Structure 1
Amino acid sequence: MKPPALGTLFDLLADRGSRTAVHLSRPFDLAPDGPTEYDIGQLADLVRQTAARLAASGVRAGDRVAVVKPNHWDTVLLACAASRLGAVPALLSPRLSGDALRDLLRRLDPALLVTTATTLTARPGTDLTAHAARTLLVGGVPYDGPAAGEILTPADVDGHAVPPVVSRAVDDTMVIHHTSGTTGLPKLVEHSTRTIVHRLAHFECNRVPVLASRRSDTVATADPFTHGRAVPWTISVLHLEPRAVVLLADRDPRTVEQTLLRTPPTTLEASPAAFVTWRDLAARRSAALQDVRLYISTFDAVHPPTVRGFLAASRHRQPRWLQGWGQTETGPLTFRLLTRKSLERSGERHPTTRDLGRPVPGRTRLRVVDPQTLRPVGRGRPGLLLARTKARCVGYVGEQDRWATKADGPWWNTGDIGVLTRGGSLILTDREVDTVPGASCVELEDVIEDRLAEVVECTVLGVPGPELLPVLVTADGTLDPEAWAVAVRDLPAMAEPVVREWDEVPRTETGKVRRLELRRLVRPRTPEPLGTGRWT
């Protein structure tokens, strides 16, 4: 059975009698005085009440509703509420700069902005409310800044009747997410009910052994809830009715550990950067991780020490790590299951987690082409990766020409460089914009992190000249020069490493490094990268 439309998801689950218990690391911004535990019926009520508030705020079918608020799963509930009205939710990360948010809101021209006082005051000099017809404040904290008297609060829109459900055509835009923005202003990706519900979520609703949620599972996630993963994850996981779901709104290791100790997960999904910030939990073999049978990381590169550490922390007999690769525009394209045995070797020059596995059977296809001619190259040769999937997004808001440049008939230009092996697996080397002739920056990052335990994160930047530029994150911002010299003795020539602490590195909402911005910070006079950036 296909999952329902987004707007009626919780109604269907409640009618079906779903017994999944939902646990929160903190109360919703939609209900700041509310509980941290919900059943499905209570969530259905909250979505209906929120839809009534949005309608009372003036939202009508076809309108865009921008959501910019602190990270929490109620971002998805707001998307469900807007969808009930036939409106189109646009989910924007609060981690974006004021300039980026201003430009994206201008492009969206939303009928309503849903935000919080803390979000509005976090960027002095940027008035986000100026770029929406109306603004609705949630979160329970009052706001007294610019245009405060014109901003709606829940008290202004409470008490209205729940409006009827408005259905949209399956190929109309249903939800808007933005890309990571590692190379500039994020793109606003439009997905339809057909692409994100019928194609992405429906596939994950199948009870695939090992990978799918079981009724006995406690499923935890800490993915950013504005991310393109959040909507299909919500639909598919709740459709499978696990025993419990744990929503981690904050990445702070202490909060995460306390939340997971109360409700220990059997599956745990997060961005690679989140796992890196929690690596002390793995090193201490925290009881919060002891029951995990499956870890899941999606979209971004994950390095071997992270995977190895978390697999070792589980007391499950055979824990697995599912590494997925894909894009906001396409959803997952390949996956690979890693085990303790997969990563027994360490510190060597071999692909390890650069091997992203095979295309999703029956769902996706990959092709490798020459970046200059766009003609196919043979197996085992590096080139630009094209993907074919029926889950491809339907457009970019305000940049349809840019979308058309990346679409080649049914194929999609990912902008990544990689190799398809003779066995059909994908070895990812770099983004095209970051490419370096004769080397793979991400593979070198794997090796360096494997060889230097004190390195929390390594980013290798391609710069014109004979040397690569490594930027290393350590806990205290220092590095042993002798250990460094030993670690890179057999690697391509590198400049002296730049050492930083975690918060000194510019990041996306998922914690991925903004490489171009980092280059400008550490080498302000360095020319532009060697790649063209044509397909970013």
Structure 2
Amino acid sequence: MEFPDNHYVPLNLYTNFTKAAESNPDVKIYSDSLLPGFPEFGKETTYVEAVESIRKRAFQLIELGVVKGDKVVIFKTSRFDTYLLAVAVSYVGAIPVMVSHHLDAHIISVLSDRLEMPWLIFDEATASVALAEVVSSRVKLIELSRLVEKALKANQNYPQDFLDVDDISYITHTSGTTGIPKLIAHSANSMGWRTKWQKNVFDLIEKKKLMAFHISPVHSRFNIGISSAMAKGFPLLNISDTSEVSVERTLEKFQPYALETHPNNFVRWSSLAKMKPSIFASVKYYHSTFDAINKGTMARFLEASSDKRPVFMQVYGQSECGPMIYKFHTRDSIVALDSRDMGVGMPGLTEVRIVNEAGKEVATGESGNIQMLSKGRALTYYKENQRFADNVYDKWWDSGDYGQKNDAGNLLLFDRQIDLIESIESNLAIEDMLLDRLPFLDEVIIVRDAQGKPQPIVSIVAGETPNWDLWWELVSHMPFLNKPMIMSYDDIPRTATMKVQRLVLEGRFKEGKL
């Protein structure tokens, strides 16, 4: 597919925001929830109104003592104002550090030690962790409500300060599925290449109509998506409340043209798409963030759209490299889709190769480790340079994933390297098939039990009766699987982006807790 030749621009969050406001001042930003960091917005604002409030927050941060080069941890409720506070931090020339509100005091204390006495913005949801002795002794605290009270009175006019385009200017963290998260360091240049990738995609959208999204605001995907959408002048709808009741109410009210969320949220909302397809009737473009998703879920949302030719864009990527591989699906194309087929890289920006354990590229159709080449690759893991370097092979980054490339050059994703089970080629393929064929399943995960055997863990759709005869009929043609274990969807351990923490589940088996 040919993409327009967009001019490359390094990404400074505040500069991008204010330029978007200059070009499209009256374009709206909506939210389904009030924003504690910006109460003056209510549930809607415009690009230009938001810039003025962001500038006020920046002035107050400066008055509190934040200076160029400081690290500012943003550790609060998962809402759109998390990103807006990051934009304010970037105005100062300080470095936003985006941290999930789910993390506990031990993890926050470890990350704070790496950051060497950073500032930390917290709210009521994170106060117990922020104020814990093990954390508070390692950070300079800023209570969000007090910042807001003072910021509204601030009328100074401090100039914007800038970091070098190759300096660390934004920090996110890994999902923490394997332990203490790693801090991923990004620069204006590395983020700029990612926005170029994203703006190429947005140029394919026919109309500048409402984009709805539920993405974790601390995920590296968030600032790339929002910055790119604003640069293109799209109105935005932030969905913070992912409950089915709230999603139904929000989408019926706003009727968005495009919708993006994490794959596990699409899976969770698929029962809505099945029972009340009108909720998603306005959506022409769906966008799945960074992870694989089963084709039955995608098909259900495509069918729910009232558009003649809706599109579901599946994106595979990683926080260290940004969006990498993409594939567009329609109602017709998805029928014959292999769910493991992620698609192709974007010419000139991203590509993948498959290598063996020695790092040598393997033949087409042969499985191995997936390595990524991305112009938007992050700089390092902050204070863990060697851990980052251990995954670097010249221009290539070892993703930690396992798969192969087919004759068409498309990437087939099988599993995380660390999740491989000896008797199974792809856990994800089996999980996808079961989700596609068994409508009573809300989730299915295959992990290793205490003896290393494949153990399915499932959650059941509310109100559905499991058909175990059909389950056993399907799995009888597969490698051996243990009897499925039922677990509530909400009890399954997850990261901020709703990824299942498989190693946590396996640890519970080893400890005899499951």
Normalization by structure 2: what TM-score?
0.93
AA partner of residue 35 (structure 1)? G
Equivalent residue, structure 1, for 2:435: 449
Q: Distance in 1 between matches of 2:190 and 2:368?
A: 27
Instruction: Note the C-alpha offset of 1:307.
Output: 1.0
Paired residue for 1:130?
137
In the TM superposition, residue 40 of structure 1 has moved relative to its aligned partner by 0.9
| 2:210 is aligned with 1:218 | yes
440-449 or 459-468: which moved more?
Answer: 459-468
For residue 107 of structure 2, what is the aligned residue in structure 1?
100
Using the TM superposition, give the Cα deviation of residue 489 of structure 1 relative to its aligned residue in structure 2, in angstroms: 1.6
Q: Aligned in 2, Cα 1:16/1:2: closer, same or farther, shift over 3 Å?
A: farther
Deviation of 1:479 (Å)? 4.1
What does 1:288-299 align with in structure 2 at a 5 Å threshold?
A: 288-299=279-290
SS at match of 1:278: helix
Deviation per CA, 1:260-290, whole angstroms, max 9, x where unpaired?
A: 2221111100001111222232012343311
- Structure-1 residue corresponding to 2:37: 30
Secondary structure (helix, strand or coil) at the match of 1:235 reads helix
* Alignment of 1:490 onto 2:480: no
Pairing partner for 2:121 from 114, 117, 122: 114
| 2: CA distance, partners of 1:120 / 1:126 | 12
Equivalent residue letter for 2:237: V
Q: 2:260 corresponds to which residue?
A: 269
Deviation at 1:14, TM superposition (A): 2.3
- Verify: 1:519 aligned to 2:506, yes or no: yes
Q: Summarize the Cα distance change of 1:427–1:464 in structure 2 as closer, same or farther, 3 Å threshold.
A: farther
Does 1:20 find its partner at 2:27?
Answer: yes
Residue correspondence of structure 1 range 107-256 to structure 2 within 5 A: 107-121=114-128, 128-132=135-139, 134-138=140-144, 140=145, 153-156=147-150, 158-197=153-192, 199-206=193-200, 210=204, 212=205, 214-242=206-234, 244-256=235-247
- Indicate conservation of the 8 Å contact 1:324/1:336, yes or no: yes
* Structure 1 CA distance for aligned equivalents of residues 117 and 272 of structure 2: 41
Cα deviation 1:246-266 (Å, max 9, x = unaligned): 111221222222222221111
The CA deviation at 1:127 is 5.4
Count of residue pairs the alignment pairs up: 503
Q: Cα distance 1:106–1:479, how it changes in 2: closer, same or farther (>3 A)?
A: farther
Letter in 1 for 2:348: G
Distance 1:359 1:110 in 2: 40
Cα 1:39–1:294 change in 2 (3 A) is same
The 3-state SS of whatever aligns with 1:26 is coil
Residue 82 and residue 299 in structure 1: after superposition, are their counterparts in 2 closer, same or farther (change >3 A)? same
Q: 1:30: Cα distance to partner?
A: 0.8
Identity of aligned residues (%): 28
Paired with 1:128 and 1:254, the residues of 2 have a C-alpha distance of 36
Moved beyond 6 Å, runs of 4+? none
Q: Distance in 2 between matches of 1:435 and 1:341?
A: 32
Residue of structure 2 in register with 1:147 after alignment: none
The structural deviation recorded for 1:49 is 0.7
Change (3 A) 1:94 1:40: same
Unaligned 5+ residue runs, structure 2?
Answer: 1-6
The equivalent residue for 2:72 is 65
Q: Deviation string for 1:266-319 (max 9, x for gaps)? A: 110000111122223201234331111111012122122211211111111111
Answer yes or no: is the 8 Å Cα contact 1:27–1:33 preserved in 2: no
| Post-superposition CA distance 1:154-186 (Å, at most 9, x none) | 335542513211111110011001111111111
Task: Quote the Cα distance in structure 1 between the aligned partners of 2:499 and 2:180.
Answer: 15
Gaps of 5+ in 1: 141-151, 346-350, 527-536
> Within 1, Cα distance between the matches of 2:279 and 2:461?
23
Deviations 1:376-407 (A, max 9, x none): 21110000111111111001111001011111
Out of 251-260 and 421-430, give the one that drifted further.
Answer: 251-260
| In the alignment, structure 1 residue 320 sits paired with structure 2 residue 294 | no
Measured in 2, the distance between the counterparts of 1:207 and 1:460 equals: 33
**C-alpha separation in 2, matches of 1:5 and 1:370:** 38
Contact 1:466 1:493 in 2 (8 A): no
State the partner residue of 1:383: 368
The equivalent residue for 1:367 is 353
Shift of 1:417: 0.4
